[in-house]
Structure 1
Amino acid sequence: MQQFSFHSPVHAFFGFNAIDNLKTLLEPYKTVCIVCGATSADKTGFRKYMDEYFKDKNILWFNRIEENPSINTILKGGKFARECKAEVVIGFGGGSPLDASKAIAAFATNNKGFYELLTEEKLEKEPLPVVCIPTTCGTGSEMNNYSIVTDTEKLDKINFAKANTFPKYAVIDPVFLRSLNRKTLYATAFDAFTHCLEGFVSVRSNPFSDSHAITGMEIILSTFAEGADTTKDETLVNFLYGSTLGGIVILHTATTLLHALGYYLTNEKKIHHGTANAILLPYYLEMMRESGVEKCMVVDALMEKYGFNISRWQDEMGYDVTIKEILSDEEIEAMVDYALTKKNSEWSPFAPEKDFVLEILKRY
């Protein structure tokens, strides 16, 4: 066995009623900046919870996070937290608000341009402490330092991640998934599954990440096999835990070509990130099979064990379609060109050569 390293520095609280830990976690702070979308805090009851239990705090709401947060939104959020003299940031919502909260906490204490700070190896000033509270079961962002930000001018996704942009705490309570619609729940579960799968086959994988990846895949696949009834708390718990494990996995392994291709569908066609991954998953599996990736046999065995029918769940999300039904031949080529410029393509378990990737994508 070769030498390897691993770490998972986020102090996480998982399970129903985990939210009650927030009362203790916020004790040291007076001014709290909450980063979220426009409606999630009200829809889930989180705003009511904060109003009821934190009357002694100065609660500030930056509820302007869009899906796939832009550089402009991050800079505005950093300015908001800085001018309000926030002492702690709470990221509440799906992957977009969680990712945004980590970047906003950095810009709150480092008043610089986005690309200027992005290029700095180490932040001059420590970011504000961050507490992440996920409301979807997709990104696992609460467990790593990744912050995916969209450059709307270049139609590109950038990972703003530094050694000190980890959340300090994660409060992972399945209660907040109860307000999710079925399609979104399934789409985010596919995102979590692909995190585990890609992390497992990544050239950066190690025994620590593999153990989490296999467990995450098993939990998610078994939940789908049982029907993935979104009215059952067991479904929510399983998908959410699989997502959390996936977040730890990609902290060590990053993602691969599958995610890079998916970014294009999200950027250009506004397809939900998890749904984009679900559309691309059969193609990626075929690429691995034809390339003789040994670990793909493990993935195939797990899917066979649980009778995992990708097409069925694509249909549940409204996207049981081929790539050629979404993109023209020219757009498919543009997608591959874009994906091959992304760093995560380098971690794929096969050589992602353009002609090979194109041939598989245009095959069906």
Structure 2
Amino acid sequence: MQITKFAIPEVIFGNGSIQFLASCAQRLGAKRVLLVSDKGIEESGWVALIREILESAKLDCIYFDELTANPRDRQIQQGAKLYRDSRADVIIGLGGGSPIDASKGIATIVSNGGNIHDYEGANRIIHPLPPMIFIPTTAGSGSDVSQYAIITDEKRQVKMSIISRSLVPNISIIDPDLLVTKSRELILSSAVDALAHAVESYVSRLASPFTESQALTAIRLIAGNIKPAANSKNREALKNLSIASTAAGMSFSNAGLGVGHALAHSLGGRYDVTHGMALPILLPAVIRFNQPSCERKMATIAHAIYESCPAPVSDRKKSLSDTLYNLFEELGIPMQMRKIVPDNSHMEEICKLAVQDACSVPNPKEATWQDLYQICSEAW
């Protein structure tokens, strides 16, 4: 029997659960916290609410928001310096994947020293990290429950994957109320990110019964709720997408991902495009590539989608890749790579980098850079 492990944080979930933030921080020994977020979250009013909750509990709050959409290596070093200089004792990450990944990077440098590049790859973090509480404001990245952090190396133009059990936070507070201020575009891109997490981790060579059940839960919930969540911000649908994102995060954190995410990392490093833009374009071609290696699992995914998002019998004869392509196109998502990147002159280099990405390792079918180039050509 395969020996497996399943690492997750303490999860506090539900509408209004943000009210428990101060007591959670105090339970971790907080007196002065470093709050990591970004200007977009600040404009939505959530940063002010968090600071008010902390200050009402007489907790000092140092605020760091020098972040871009894909956090840079230099920003991690800046945040770590602020943590040390202010003598903070707990890190709170508020936002989507970028502020939360940045929080993980800052925590890594604070406790282990050096430069964030030193920890690229798997299991290179030695010393325990300071206590971390994450509050996702999107339903997609899953970073608030995962063992992954993605940081951009500006010099190499590469998104570095940092993977360690140490990156799982102490507590994740998931409050679906925070999704109501998100745009339709962000709700969609986040949900597709979570769907890609679920699909890739379900067919991963490291999948286990623990991860497979979480992945299928996520797939069903996303298929059944993505349209009402995006089109009308239906609160029940948004709550279900939050559950789906958490389930998919638990799955990929423990089972790994695949070549779709490896390519998205390389494309993001070169062109600064987000996962949510790249993954829907790549996913149908990635599924076609992987299908011969996991026919039964792909059929299970297709059944889960049709079960949750009923379609005419004629549509059920379509391949899974075509079903997803049509769904994404119906939602208004651009489905050609040429619409999000300026040219394909660096595609060979991007594919060679993607083959070396840690996410490629558990892909169900071994891929060469030429295979990845073919996937990109199909998606172009």
Q: Same fold (TM over 0.5)?
A: yes
Superposition map of 1:51-62 within 5 A: 51=52, 54-55=55-56, 56-62=58-64
1:302-348 Cα shifts (integer Å, max 9, x gaps): 33442455344346454132559957554433332221121211211
**Does residue 22 of the first structure (1) align with residue 27 of the second (2)?**
no
Aligned to 2:244: 242
Q: Aligned partner of 1:4: which letter?
A: I
Determine if contact 1:323/1:361 at 8 Å carries over to the other structure.
no
Relative distance call for 1:232 and 1:210 in structure 2 (3 A) is: same
Q: Aligned partner of 1:87: which letter?
A: D
Query: Deviation at 1:279?
Result: 0.7
Q: Aligned partner of 2:96: which letter?
A: G
Query: Deviation at 1:155?
Result: 1.1
**Does residue 45 of the first structure (1) align with residue 46 of the second (2)?**
yes
Give the Cα–Cα distance (whole angstroms) in 1 for the partners of residues 108 and 241 of structure 2: 30
Give the Cα–Cα distance (whole angstroms) in 2 for the partners of residues 51 and 328 of structure 1: 46
1:180-215 Cα shifts (integer Å, max 9, x gaps): 100011001000000010000011101110011111
**Does residue 6 of the first structure (1) align with residue 5 of the second (2)?**
yes
Determine if contact 1:44/1:179 at 8 Å carries over to the other structure.
no
Name which of 138, 141, 144 aligns with 2:143: 141
1:9-43 Cα shifts (integer Å, max 9, x gaps): 41110110111111211223210110111231341
SS at match of 1:347: coil
Give the Cα–Cα distance (whole angstroms) in 2 for the partners of residues 290 and 81 of structure 1: 49
Give the Cα–Cα distance (whole angstroms) in 2 for the partners of residues 169 and 292 of structure 1: 35
Give the Cα–Cα distance (whole angstroms) in 1 for the partners of residues 375 and 128 of structure 2: 45
Aligned to 1:362: 377
1:153-185 Cα shifts (integer Å, max 9, x gaps): 111111233332321100000111111100011
Q: Aligned partner of 1:334: which letter?
A: E
Unmatched tracts of structure 1, length 5 or more:
none
Give the Cα–Cα distance (whole angstroms) in 2 for the partners of residues 252 and 60 of structure 1: 32
Determine if contact 2:71/2:98 at 8 Å carries over to the other structure.
yes
Determine if contact 2:91/2:107 at 8 Å carries over to the other structure.
yes
Give the Cα–Cα distance (whole angstroms) in 1 for the partners of residues 129 and 340 of structure 2: 44
Relative distance call for 1:106 and 1:355 in structure 2 (3 A) is: closer
1:39-70 Cα shifts (integer Å, max 9, x gaps): 31341433134225524121100111211111
Name which of 211, 214, 218 aligns with 1:212: 214
Q: Equivalent pairs: percent with the same residue?
A: 25
Aligned to 1:178: 180
**Does residue 31 of the first structure (1) align with residue 32 of the second (2)?**
yes
Determine if contact 1:293/1:349 at 8 Å carries over to the other structure.
no
Q: Aligned partner of 1:35: which letter?
A: V
SS at match of 2:356: coil
Relative distance call for 1:227 and 1:108 in structure 2 (3 A) is: closer
Determine if contact 2:80/2:109 at 8 Å carries over to the other structure.
yes
Q: Aligned partner of 1:262: which letter?
A: A
Q: Which moved more, 1:33-42 or 1:263-272?
A: 263-272
SS at match of 1:229: helix
Aligned to 2:366: 351
Give the Cα–Cα distance (whole angstroms) in 2 for the partners of residues 170 and 350 of structure 1: 33
Q: Which moved more, 1:35-44 or 1:250-259?
A: 35-44
Determine if contact 1:93/1:134 at 8 Å carries over to the other structure.
yes
Give the Cα–Cα distance (whole angstroms) in 1 for the partners of residues 283 and 121 of structure 2: 32
Q: Which moved more, 1:340-349 or 1:13-22?
A: 340-349
SS at match of 1:34: strand
Q: Aligned partner of 1:33: which letter?
A: L
Determine if contact 2:221/2:240 at 8 Å carries over to the other structure.
yes
Name which of 337, 359, 362 aligns with 2:352: 337
Query: Deviation at 1:222?
Result: 1.1
Relative distance call for 1:155 and 1:179 in structure 2 (3 A) is: same
Relative distance call for 1:227 and 1:95 in structure 2 (3 A) is: closer
Relative distance call for 1:360 and 1:12 in structure 2 (3 A) is: closer
Relative distance call for 1:30 and 1:227 in structure 2 (3 A) is: closer
**Does residue 302 of the first structure (1) align with residue 304 of the second (2)?**
yes
Q: Aligned partner of 1:245: which letter?
A: A
Q: Give the helix-richer structure, 1 or 2.
A: 2
Give the Cα–Cα distance (whole angstroms) in 2 for the partners of residues 45 and 309 of structure 1: 33
Name which of 105, 125, 128 aligns with 1:126: 128
Q: Aligned partner of 2:367: which letter?
A: P
Determine if contact 1:201/1:349 at 8 Å carries over to the other structure.
yes
Q: Aligned partner of 1:43: which letter?
A: S
Q: Which moved more, 1:285-294 or 1:260-269?
A: 285-294
Relative distance call for 1:254 and 1:91 in structure 2 (3 A) is: same
TM-score normalised by L of structure 2: 0.87
